[in-house]
Amino acid sequence: MKHELMKVADIPMEGSKVISFFGREVHVYLAQGSPRAVVNACLHIGGPLECREGKFVCQWHQASFNMTTGERMAGPAPRGSKLMSLPTRVEGDTLFYVWSE
């Protein structure tokens, strides 16, 4: 099963684009040239993330996360934590969320 997220051409070359996803928000972006999607929620207490200088930073308490790996870099989020990424696949010109495959 799959759900269309967005057209690959609409993914920004730098930074991210926040899109709606089943009542939540996700950041869609390129990491090392590959499309990625992560839930827009800090692992500290769920604050919104901002894409800033090549990393995701919580707008509430400044926890930061690596855009390539999703791993916590600094701040109050638990050590060893990692942002929730969505399984995705590109088909033609479209990025899809995929599950149960």
pLDDT, tens only, 30-84: 999 999 999 999 999 999 999 999 999 999 999 999 999 999 999 999 999 999 9
Q: How far is CA 26 from CA 10, 34, 79, 93, in A?
A: 14, 16, 22, 19
CB 97 within 8 A of CB 85: no
Residue 58: its pLDDT value, please? Answer: 98
Q: Where are the domains of the chain?
A: 2-98
Q: Do β-strands 94-98 and 88-91 pair in parallel, antiparallel, or remain unpaired?
A: antiparallel
Q: How far is the C-alpha of 90 from the C-alpha of 98, rounded, in Å?
A: 10
Give 47-61 pLDDT, tens digit per residue. 999 999 999 999 999
Q: Decide yes or no: CATH 3.90.1150.170 for domain 2-98.
A: no
pTM of the model: 0.94
